[in-house]
């Protein structure tokens, strides 16, 4: 199985716990070197957050389980980079 180096996921979470708490939980996982969390949308019940996770060997199942343990859920996987290194995305005419 290929090594996951970067993972971009869309997460839906209740207002509590905080975005900071969820990001810290994910960043503590083995194979994760860094986490970036950006609030995309907020309504009365949930927050929609984009998490960008980088590391040497990200375990998607562990990330997903950790997020679900906080009461949130992975809504979608928006980008993934696998292999020996992260390949830079090159803009094309469609972009």
pLDDT tens readout for residues 10-69: 999 999 999 999 999 999 999 999 999 999 999 988 999 999 999 999 999 999 999 999
Of residues 3, 8, 10, 7, the one with CA closest to residue 76 = 10
Q: Please, which pLDDT band fits residue 94 given cuts at 50, 70 and 90? A: confident
> Measured between alpha carbons, how far is 95 from 92 in angstroms, rounded to an integer?
5
Residue 60 belongs to some domain of the structure: yes
Backbone region of residue 78 per phi and psi (left: phi > 0; alpha: psi in -120 to 50; beta: other values): alpha
Q: Please list the residues that pair with 11 across neighbouring strands.
A: 49, 74
Residue 59's domain is classified under what CATH number? 3.30.70.1340
Residue 90 belongs to some domain of the structure: no
Q: Which domain holds residue 32?
A: 4-82
Domain total for the chain? 1
pLDDT in tens, 24-37: 999 999 999 999 99
């Amino acid at each position: 199985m290929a090594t996951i180096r970067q993972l971009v996921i869309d997460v839906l979470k209740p207002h509590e716990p905080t975005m900071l708490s969820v990001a810290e939980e994910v960043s503590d996982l083995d194979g994760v070197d860094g986490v970036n969390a950006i609030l995309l949308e907020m309504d009365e019940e949930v927050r929609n957050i984009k998490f960008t996770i980088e590391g040497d060997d990200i375990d998607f199942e562990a990330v997903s389980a950790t997020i679900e343990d906080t009461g949130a859920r992975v809504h979608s996987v928006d980008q993934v980079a696998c292999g020996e290194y992260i390949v830079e995305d090159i803009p094309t005419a469609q972009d």
